Structure 1
Amino acid sequence: GKRVRLPPGGEGKRLYCPGCKGLLVDRPLPAPTTQVPATGPTSRPVLEVPLEPLPVPAPVTPPPPRRSTPARPWPVLLVLGLIVGVGGLITWSILAGWWNPEHRQAQASPTTEASRAAGDEFTNTLGMRFRRIARGSFRMGASDADAPENEGPVHRVVLTRDFYLGIHEVTRGQFEQFVKATGYKTEAERGEGGKGWNLDRDEVETDPKYSWRFPGWQQTDRDPVVNVSWNDAVAFCRWLSKKEGKLYDLPSDAEWEYACRAGSNTPWFFGDDAEQIIRFGNVADVSGQKRFRVVLEIKGDDRYEFTSPVGSFKANAWGLFDMHGNVWEWCADGLRTYTQEPVTDPLGAADEERALRGGSFGNDPLKARSSHRLGFGRGNCLYNVGFRVAHYPDGQPRASRPRRMRQLDADFQLASCLFLNKIR
């Protein structure tokens, strides 16, 4: 221990010991052991006492920092909950009978049939504009009392791939570029001629003078090409595919109606009032009544006796023009017999007459309805028949798509549509 000198009266005082690293001594001191005499006139006696440092307390190890509890993964739990809920609703919808034909007859809004990508279009080197048509499901056909037998029964159709459809019918000017590039001669030019309109007698006749170049009246390059057969239209698509390095073809019968309806379930894509067709399509009206001797069903006048330049009327909700009227349009497949069962990517038989859609300038509005269709032989060339082109970005011709892939796509699309219909 160390010794310090303590002046008298310092017993029991608090001391700090030099060299003791600041240890505090605050207990009473023991009795003095030695008294040192004063050495100077003013000095006082000094006591010497032993001073023992206090024991150094053991260092305290701080507790480990508390590990913060991670935040609960609410977004993950929410997503998992939604997945489970959606799966349950889809299952419940199926078990509740939504696969029955009666439920498939229910009215559907455009937003429940397929999602659109606004502004998703492109223009090819011929100046042809194409609009994306998203895959989806729709009610095909008509059940009206005045609908022809081949339009029913109404049934659910699932289309499993996106495609692009020309927003206009192929024009005379575009077809002429094909002819100049290839030297192609249409079936009307190679055979007995097409069916043209005799302006003197106001009737249809077959004559070698009639072809796409002259159907009986003068056309502009912006008018839809007519007097082309199904084979001529396919030849154009093959040339365009090679030229552009993309797959072009005629739309299928189902694809055409799906695109025409644009999500609607009414007789025409704009509604059920035939008088309104004057705003959306070129059909037989006051201008054509005398020439075509049709029973006038509407009072308006669109000022066109024959074909009109493409895009002269309002488009449907998906941006497609002239889906009602102007000229009939060839489809890729033959006429298919409808049943009530849901079908996936339907195609008519190859040996059947090819489907024609849309009506023409010489037909009444009933023949321009979304569901109306005719069948003609693939070699026929008529003054009021043209075509519209589709582009398939996956590059796969219809026959080459794996059946299993089409079925999986169809199951997903149909389940999605059922779920969306249920929650609205």
Structure 2
Amino acid sequence: MIPFDSKNIIEALTRQIPGSLITPDKLIPGKFSRFSTNGKTGDRSGYIKIYPDGEGAVFGCMRQQIKGSWQIRAARTPEEKKAFQEQIRQAQEEAALILSAAQEERSRLSTELFLTLPLASPDHAYLKEKKISPHGAKQDDNGNLIVFVYGPDGKIHGHQIIKPDGSKMFAPDTAKKGHYFVIGKPKGKILLAEGFATSATIHEATGQAVACAFDAGNLGAVARVLRAKYPEIQIIICSDDDHRTEGNPGITKATEAARAVNGLLAVPSFSGERGDKDTDFNDLMKLEGIEAVKIQVEKVINQKQQPRGKFQLVRFGEIKLRNISWLIKGYIEEGSMNLAIGDPGSGKSFLAVDWACRIATGTDFYGSSVKAGAVVYIAGEGNNGLTRRFTAWAIRNNIKLESAPVYISNMPAQLTDQEQISGRF
């Protein structure tokens, strides 16, 4: 047996799953071990198994759906490589069975807890601080608020624990992805928000049913589950505005979720000064009153939602003739589809890059005026070559593209695949 290098394994693991808390004593050859992947000691979403010979390992994160592997040596014969890949496959299958059993056990335990715990007191410290009602949340013997995690069929998959001071954690092995807690009954509409307090606030302000996804990363999965359950219902995503966090994950993830289900998006707008941690509709309510929440969310609810891709026929006599609105005068009309057709090597890709850059920067196209706007460029070729072409355009025209609204995909796109086309711009 070749002794494994625990430091090497831990470094490989933490590169793929940042925030992991794992120590060498968890690395036991031939056995699965669980560990935290979010920096919290109570979390057990991570798993790892060192192979009995110490030459490899599989690991992953149940919450983030990450799977990885490690090996002590790369030089293997074709037969050894095949055997090693089979070892990985078997270990991942074993991990899936173990994790599935753990989640089922969590479901059972949380269901038992639901049947025994009383409803939360309206005087609970967290509820009073957030100025909300319990809405079906329960309370344990330690004074913690318990919010149960449901699937679309009503099955309980676990629960979230909210302590009186507001700190939160999920019970071990809670299956959160695509699962939620709902306040109220949908009547033609359902709203979706991140946290319990935010969801409760929006429900109290509007009277509408609100699903709580628990965090921004789960908004997309829950939105898709709700769309599958309610094909014709109007879905409104109520985002957090993480204005002090790089990339603003609250708005980014909410926007992705809304696009994925043809939903609407409501973002809290603060009229006065707000603190760094004032990010959601509950914060808005505490600063400006519940009427401000009601007005902002209902304004979005009352918007006319775009039809969901229904093909329609219109009598010719009902079509109104409109003046041409040029994107590039004489070449590309707004709202039209255009094709650049030519022999291989005739410069079609260079023309597309030229058009994209000129529209994004509002630069005239060889004497023709250009209406500036955002551009999405779906890469059908290598990104590296494409990057060189955009860079060359910027140098040739002495125009900086760094802040221009031109967005380039990181891979070719299958436009019939909803998962691929629901990314953010």
Q: TM-score range by the shorter chain?
A: under 0.3
Of the two structures, which has the highest relative contact order with CA contacts closer than 8 Å and spacing of 6 or more? 1
* TM-score, normalising length: structure 1: 0.22
- Output the TM-score relative to the length of structure 2: 0.22
Structure with bigger gyration radius: 1
Higher helix share: 2
